[in-house]
């Protein structure tokens, strides 16, 4: 069974063939774009990862929370740098 997609621009029904990029037969509006969909999925995935990260700053955070998160981020970076430095030191020192 063929898939039909209604064009958002002109309302024309188009038959979807395959999974490639497809334009409306009536007005040329893009009705299917796998590349765009993939990019949006990646974007969504990145956003989800950021949401999980406890120090991600949100627009609706209070100034105090924003400050706390910024400090948290800085602390994390500093700690990671120190750990990285010691890891490097351990690797180069002839123990
Ligand atoms: Zn159209």
The label of the residue with tokens 């955070």 reads 61
How many Cβ atoms from other residues are within 10 Å of residue 9's Cβ? Answer: 13
What are the Cα distances from residue 10, in Å, to 13, 27, 31, 34? 9, 7, 11, 21
Give the pTM. 0.43
pLDDT at residue 68, rounded to an integer: 92
What are the structure tokens assigned to 69, written together? 């998160």
Query: Ligand 1: distance of its center to the CA of 38 in Å?
Result: 22
Q: How far apart are CA 62 and CA 65, in angstroms?
A: 5
Of 55, 64, 6, the C-alpha closest to 31 is: 6
Structure tokens at 1: 């069974």
Q: pLDDT tens across 24-49, in order?
A: 999 999 988 888 889 999 999 988 88
Identify the residue whose tokens are 């621009």.
Answer: 9
Residue 2 has pLDDT above 70, yes or no: no
Q: What are the residue boundaries of the structural domains of the chain, listed by start?
A: 53-95
Rounded Cα distance between 43 and 16, Å, is: 25
pLDDT tens track for 67-90: 999 999 899 999 999 999 999 988
pLDDT surpassing 80 at residue 16: yes
CA of 25 to the centre of ligand 1 (A): 7
Alpha carbon of 23 to ligand 1 centroid (Å) = 8
């Amino acid at each position: 069974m063929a898939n039909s997609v209604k064009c958002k621009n002109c309302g024309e029904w188009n038959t979807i063939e395959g999974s490639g990029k497809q334009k409306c037969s009536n007005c040329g509006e893009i009705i299917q774009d796998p590349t765009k969909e993939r990019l949006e999925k990646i974007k969504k995935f990145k956003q989800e990862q950021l949401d999980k990260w406890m120090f991600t700053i949100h627009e609706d955070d209070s100034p105090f929370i924003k400050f706390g998160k910024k400090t948290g981020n800085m602390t994390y970076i500093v700690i990671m740098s120190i750990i990285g430095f010691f890891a490097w030191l351990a690797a180069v020192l002839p123990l």
